[in-house]
A and B are shown apart, each in its own frame.
Chain A
Amino acid sequence: DSHIQYERVGADVTMKCGSMDWDAAVTWTANGTDIDESHLNGSYLILKNVDLSQSGQYSCYEGSSWHLKYQTNLRVGTPPKEPVLMCRSNNYPKGFYCSWHLPTPTYIPNTFNISVVHGTKDMVCEKDAVPKNRCHIRYIQLFSTVKYKVTLTVTNALGKNFTTLTFDEFAIVKPDPPESVVAKPVPNNPRRLEVSWQNPSSWPEPESFPLKFFLRYRPLILDQWQHVELSDGTSHTITDAYAGKEYIIQVAAKDNDIGTWSDWSVAVHATPWTEEPKHLTTEAQITETTSASTSSFMAPPTTKICDKGAVVGSGAVAVCWTAGLVVAAYSVLFI
């Protein structure tokens, strides 16, 4: 008969060849490969200080007839360490979920059992199909000061372990990050960026349970973030952006009254509006540009006005001079 045998890493394992006598002539194989006689004590197979690589199928055959007398699937593993358990409500006030994992693998199958108690009441945590290590509970009561106690027990063939989490209803509330964050330049406003976002779709009742938001932004070239907290609305206009600099922007959410901030949203990038460079092809246009007010004109740093291919003929030098004036004005304004 074939069966499964679980053993701890480092254990000494003795396998008998079924009902064969100790002094019977047998051959043992591991995953089809003959095992050296040095591992045998009579007909017994001795494996000392087993490690994970010794997991596999072990078979014992009678010496001369080569009849299969015994077979076992050896699974080397460890008893479970204390599991890691987390509970969170990202869909308040509907309910909460708990998820768990083992800090180190056991290499053998484990079963998890979770119990949830609210005061004296047992509650059922319904296991999710995906992911497997998660279950969810619907709130029966709201606004309770009585704590919830969640106990997770993990068991395998080599042992068991457990952990307990105790918390109150408000403490585990943490929304998912805001969604669909969009940042756009504002036409004719070189220092503004318009940011908008949506409530996370998992938050079921934003009207009755409104979220507040935290926005952070910085130009890519700097490390320090600027922060704005917004008590309502799902949009904000940044008014102090550095002209022409690409920004990175993120938003987080929190219930207005309870719980903790969400993780930061996916980052979006945006650059404030800058005026398009004019294409100069005639002397009249060059003159007009030169005499124009320089305070409202920002030449984009990437614009190549002096590019040889941009203009031809006698206008080329004048264009480059214009560009120099413009760049000088830009530099002054930017200091």
Chain B
Amino acid sequence: MAAPDSPSTALRRRDLCSRGIRLAGKMRADVVDLLDTYVEQQGLDASASVAAVEGVPLAAVERWDEQTGTQRLLENLAAYRAFRALLAQMLEEQREQLGEADAGLGRALAAVLLQVSAFAYHLEELLRLESRGVPSEEEDGPPPLPRLSLFEQKLRGLGVLRELAQWAVRSARDLRQLAKPSPATGTGPGLAESP
């Protein structure tokens, strides 16, 4: 069982969680707007089903309510690091395909990429607060993404943005769980590993 939190740690955690929740909310709103723009400019059908794409972290989870705080942080961090790489690749593909023609879409993608990076950093801060080792990027690094046809790239992009929108909702929920006072200590969240 983890040692009880100091008041300053509990306060810092609560502060990081609150800011993280707001960041996740803004990120989601921007991703939803970006999805509309993306679908329109890529000539896609908004209701198209996209099969799970390799390398895109799925937000779907079973027994979400049973996860420990550490599990939540680690899964979130792995996801946002993967999204950081995926969005960077989308931006690169965008520039190759369209150059200046879609500057608006490029700017919107870049803005979301920035928020994803900021959120990943936020999660690392929370992990450091728990004196947890932050997994290195090499261990967690996503596998190299396969080279796809133009249409496949567009569909993958749709899948990436949809999953990111789901993650943004999940992350806000995860942080709210983290911010709840732990029944054991009465001050910090239940970050302890299950016995």
Contacts and interface: CB of A to CB of B under 8 A. Distances in A.
Interface in B22-64: 25, 28, 49, 58-62, 64
A210 B25 CA distance: 13
B122 interface: no
B57 to A, nearest CB: 11
B176 A142 contact: no
B166 interface: yes
Contacts of B19: none
Interface in B148-170: 162-163, 166-167, 169-170
B61 A143 contact: yes
Contacts, number: 46
B60 A141 contact: yes
Interface in B55-96: 58-62, 64-65
B121 to A, nearest CB: 22
A207 B61 contact: no
Interface string A130-157: 0000000000111111110000000000
Contacts of A256: 172
Nearest to A209: B173
Interface residues of B, number: 21
Contacts of B172: 256-257
Contacts of B28: 257
Contact of A145 (B61, B62, B65, B166): B166
A328 interface: no
Contact of B25 (A140, A141, A147, A257): A257
Nearest to A166: B47
A209 B166 CA distance: 15
A122 to B, nearest CB: 16
B128 interface: no
B180 interface: yes
Contacts of B25: 257
B61 A210 contact: no
12 contacts: A140-B62, A141-B60, A141-B61, A142-B61, A143-B64, A143-B166, A144-B58, A145-B58, A145-B166, A207-B176, A209-B176, A257-B172
Given A143-B59, A143-B60, A144-B58, 16 more contacts: A93-B65, A143-B61, A143-B166, A143-B167, A143-B169, A144-B59, A145-B58, A145-B162, A145-B163, A145-B166, A147-B49, A208-B177, A208-B180, A209-B176, A256-B172, A257-B25
